[in-house]
Structure formats: structure tokens, C-alpha cells
Homo-oligomer: A and B are copies of this chain.
Amino acid sequence: MSKIRVGVAGYGTIGQRLADGVALQGDMELVGVADLAPTLAVRALYEKGMPYDLYLVAGADRSGFDALGIPVSGTFEELVDKVDIMLDSSPGGIGAKNKELYKAKGVKAIFQGGESNSVADVFFHGYANYEKGVGKDYLKLTSCNTTGLIRAADCLDRAYGLDRVAITIIRRVADPGDYHRGLTNALQMDKAPSHQALDLMTIMPHVKATGILVHTPVTHGHIITVVASGKKKITKEMALEAFEKHPRIRVVRIDDGFLGNASLFKYARDLGNPRGDMYEIGLWEDSIVESGDDIMFAVHIPQESVTIPETMDGIRAACSMQKTGAEATAKTNEYLKIGCFKKR
């Protein structure tokens, strides 16, 4: 089987990581990436020697790229012509517009969390509803918080059956390097219920979910506390056993030095992971407590990179590369080297 040809629209925080993720998949080929302006991300691509071909979206001023000596491989339309599927991580709203081109060209696409659900045929998560995405033309990925949250919820659900979750999202407010948004010395409330709880119910309709989101002035990953009600009582030991088996969940301990969200970022940097990224969510063993028959725990969501594996799963689904989520996530994990240390 020839490799699936993939393009990336929007070479920003997510787009760069999608491109890197595709480049690591042995059964996919990254055809190129598209953007509008010589942003820092594009300049870094150039300084690295153009490992990926760059295409310009409509409205881009080519002379700006030429002046810097940055090679351009063609237009966005030319990129779309060469691929089987586009990963669209354009700014919110642009993806819906791009979809017209994708349709016209008969190219599949996966949209990121910023687009409205209506842009896609299926609101997708690699573990929780892979089969729904198989063969579909347009998928939308869950947002970073929802992606990570569902990994943990789906993990308990598959092992023991889940009825209900009540979540508290302690949301990092900006990414490292962001200046266009930020918060200084304040915790900011969103109206409850949080959209992540509603999104979870869309993907896992048999589970009831609600929750409160509080923005915090930090950049290194969200922390979510979950109060989960199982179909039967889930003990700490049962929860831990299930979490430890999940390739995309990394169980950590405070005593080992994982004191908070910044520890996981530092650890990923020290691992040599590109950009200090982590594909796994962190889950603190020391946070797991029983509340009557409910189980409570805290997870860490690395917002810049957590959706990359599930997006790779999405390519596998849309392009019918694997029939089941089990096969697809195993392939993605293998190529991204997720969970391999755990198995040593």
C-alpha cells in the first residue's frame, strides 16, 4: 500500500506539531505545509533548512518570503492537489472556508478544535469513537482538554463502565511565546458547564458530564480534576491499574519529582523530546482518592501536543488505513514511540 499523502494548513503551534507527527508515521508522507506570512515558525523552518515544503495560502505576499530567501513550493491549491488528506489547523473560521476547496478537489480533511462541529461529519477521538470516523471525509478533533480528559474517562469506561463525571479544569491561559492573550495575577471563571464537559457527552453519549473551568496565569499545561462515578465502585487500585496500562497516560508521582505541570514540561525537555513536547497526559498517582463510591484524580494536559496522536488516528480512520481503534492507535503509538518506555 502506498503512503497516504498529507498536507498541513496553518503552520502555527499545532500545525508545526502535526507536520512533525505525520513525518514520523511510516505509512504517511508529509507533502507540505501552508501558511500566510513569514512568521517565526516559518523562519525557524527556513533556519532548519526547509525539512518541509512550504506553500502559500491565498492572500500571502510572496515578496516577503522572497526577500528573506525562503523557498516557496507553490500555492495552497497546488498543495491540496497533491494530497489525500489535509490537516487543517488554520485560525478558527478559516477551516470552514478551506473546506470548500477540499470538497471541490475531493480531498479529505481533519479540522482542529477551533472550528465549529458542523464543519465535520464526525467529532472524533482516536480511542473513544474511532470506528465512527472510518471512511468519513471530514473529521473534527476534540480540543486539547477534551482529548486528554476523554483518554482518562474512556480508559475507566472500558475497564469498569462509567456513568458520570464532574470536572474542574484549571486551564493554562496561554502557550509559551504567546503575547496576544494572557492573564496577570488573576483566576478567571467561565460560565458552567464548561464546553469540555458538553463535548465529552457528544463523544461518549452514555456518560453524563458537567464541570467548571477556571483560567490560571500559567503556560505549561492544564490540570483537570475528575470526580468519576462508575457503574460500580472503582477503587484507587482499580483506577491505577487501568491508567497504568494506557499507552497515552503517564502515571507520575510527586515523590519522584513531578511536583506539577512545569515538572512534566521540564522532564520532556530533558528527555530530548522536540520542543519539550509530551504526547501523553500525566496522571498523578498521589491524586487518586475515593469519594464514597466515586473516584477522584488529577490529570495534566500538555496543550500544545496532546491532540497530535489522536489526529494521526484520525488520518487512519478517514483514510480507512485501519478498521479498529485498537489497530490504529497501536500504529500511531508505535510511530510516535508512545508508551514504549513503559513496556521496557
Name A's B-contacting residues (CB within 8 A).
Answer: 16, 39-41, 43-45, 47-48, 163-164, 166, 168, 170, 172-179, 181-193, 208, 210-212, 214-221, 223, 225, 227, 229, 254, 256-263, 265-267, 269-272, 274-276, 284, 286-292, 294, 296-298, 341
Decide if A215 touches B262 in the complex (CB within 8 Å).
no
Contacts of A175 in B (CB 8 A): 266
Decide if B215 touches A218 in the complex (CB within 8 Å).
no
The 4 closest A-B pairs by CB, nearest first: A177-B266, A186-B262, A44-B270, A185-B185
Decide if B184 touches A260 in the complex (CB within 8 Å).
no
Decide if B262 touches A210 in the complex (CB within 8 Å).
no
Take A44-B271, A272-B48 as given contacts and tell me if A294 and B166 are in contact as well, using a CB distance cutoff of 8 Å.
yes
Which single residue of chain B is at the shortest CB-CB distance from A197? B289
The smallest beta-carbon distance between A224 and chain B, in angstroms, is 9
Contacts of A164 in B (CB 8 A): 291-292
Decide if A16 touches B219 in the complex (CB within 8 Å).
no
Contacts of A227 in B (CB 8 A): 166, 227, 291
Decide if A220 touches B176 in the complex (CB within 8 Å).
yes
Decide if A191 touches B269 in the complex (CB within 8 Å).
no
Contacts of A191 in B (CB 8 A): 254, 286-287
Kindly identify which residue among B259, B276, B292, B298 contacts A212, using a CB–CB cutoff of 8 Å.
B298
CA distance A275 to B122 in the complex (A): 36
Kindly identify which residue among B44, B174, B184, B266 contacts A218, using a CB–CB cutoff of 8 Å.
B184
Decide if B217 touches A223 in the complex (CB within 8 Å).
no
Decide if A184 touches B219 in the complex (CB within 8 Å).
yes
The smallest beta-carbon distance between A71 and chain B, in angstroms, is 13
Decide if A187 touches B208 in the complex (CB within 8 Å).
no
Kindly identify which residue among B39, B185, B192 contacts A286, using a CB–CB cutoff of 8 Å.
B192
Which single residue of chain B is at the shortest CB-CB distance from A164? B292
Decide if B269 touches A189 in the complex (CB within 8 Å).
no
CA distance A14 to B261 in the complex (A): 21
Contacts of A223 in B (CB 8 A): 187, 189, 214
Contacts of A262 in B (CB 8 A): 176-179, 185-187
Decide if A183 touches B185 in the complex (CB within 8 Å).
no
Contacts of A229 in B (CB 8 A): 292
The smallest beta-carbon distance between A25 and chain B, in angstroms, is 18
The smallest beta-carbon distance between A13 and chain B, in angstroms, is 9
Decide if A184 touches B183 in the complex (CB within 8 Å).
yes
